Structure 1
Amino acid sequence: MKPQFLADKLLHSDSHIRFVAISNMDGNILASINREGMNNILTEDETEKSLQRAISSWNSRRELFDKTGEGKYALVVYEKLKRITIPIDKEHLIYITFDSDGNNRDVVQAVLNSKPGQTSEGLSTS
């Protein structure tokens, strides 16, 4: 599955999702999309910094995977938005922000059902 197709698919998986980025674990954004008509809360630079912190957190978590098992997703709740990060594989990450009034379980389930690995398709960056 191509990164932009995946980003579009994830954005449309739940109406509360505001922004989707697909990146590699070096922080390079391979694809991104904003929900039309929504104002961004973070600037592009702030989003990139937030993504870098999320990647750093995932890299730190990996050190414990042999004891805890692999991480499925991480959810962070702020007053004005929520952020979920989901590893696609060892080299790629999904970064999503959604409205603070979105139901955590519904959004997480919609995203997990749409990501590569739930089907036979993987992420194709070529």
Structure 2
Amino acid sequence: MISLLTYLVDYNALCLRILEADSYVRFAGVADQLGKMVASQYRKNVQPLLTKEESELSATQSILRMGTRLTLESKLGPTVYSFALYERVKRATIPVRDPGNHCLLVSFDVVADHEEIILEKILPLLKS
């Protein structure tokens, strides 16, 4: 069932705002609770590291991993974001906390200060 909020939130606009928030953001996408990408944007002139199919698989895996974190949130508190560092890219999964249980998937250049970008630039966008 698709929530009413899905129709009220322009996830493509959100992705664009995230890309505009910091020049080290390579990609921003929003996936639903089944891992289907509902919106995504790449930074201008960036070469994607994954094919469209690989990106969809990655989104599904990220959503599944985020779902497993829910079991401990009653004791640890809500997940703010999860993070992975690869040799060629940094990636974060951020729960949107909307009725549709969407997740924001963001990738950064390796030299990015991802934590500062997430805490000071991306999370305020999600709250507004």
Q: TM-score, normalised by structure 2?
A: 0.86
Letter in structure 1 aligned against 2:34: D
Deviation at 1:25, TM superposition (A): 1.0
SS in 1 for 2:103: strand
Partner Cα distance (2:64, 2:18) in 1: 23
Cα distance in 2 for partners of 1:89, 1:2 equals 15
Structure 2 match to 1:69: 77
In the TM superposition, residue 24 of structure 1 has moved relative to its aligned partner by 0.8
Number of aligned residue pairs: 117
The answer to whether the aligner puts 1:6 opposite 2:25 as a matched pair is no
Q: How many Å separate the matches in 2 of 1:2 and 1:61? A: 27
**How many Å apart are 1:114 and its aligned residue?**
1.6
CA-CA distance at 1:31 after TM superposition: 0.8
Percent identical across equivalent pairs? 27
CA shift for structure 1 position 65: 1.1
Q: Which has the higher contact order (CA 8 A, sep 6+)?
A: 1
Per the TM alignment, residue 38 of structure 1 is displaced from its structure 2 partner at its CA by: 0.8
Root-mean-square deviation (Å): 1.2
**Counterpart of 1:32 in structure 2: which amino acid?**
S
Higher strand residue share: 1
Number of the residue aligned with 1:97? 107
1:18-57 equivalences under 5 Å are 18-57=26-65
SS at match of 2:68: helix
Three-state SS of the structure 2 residue aligned to 1:89 is coil
**Segments ≥4 residues shifted beyond 4 Å:** none
- Counterpart secondary structure, 1:42: coil
Does structure 2 retain, via aligned residues, the 8 Å contact 1:10–1:111?
Answer: yes
Residue equivalent to 1:124? none
Gaps of 5+ in 2: 1-8
Paired AA for residue 77 in structure 2: G
Report the counterpart of residue 3 of structure 2 in structure 1.
none
Structure 1 length normalisation: TM-score?
0.87
Between the aligned partners of 2:97 and 2:36, the Cα distance in structure 1 is: 15
- Look up the equivalent residue of 1:42 and give its one-letter code: L
Q: CA deviation at 1:69?
A: 1.1
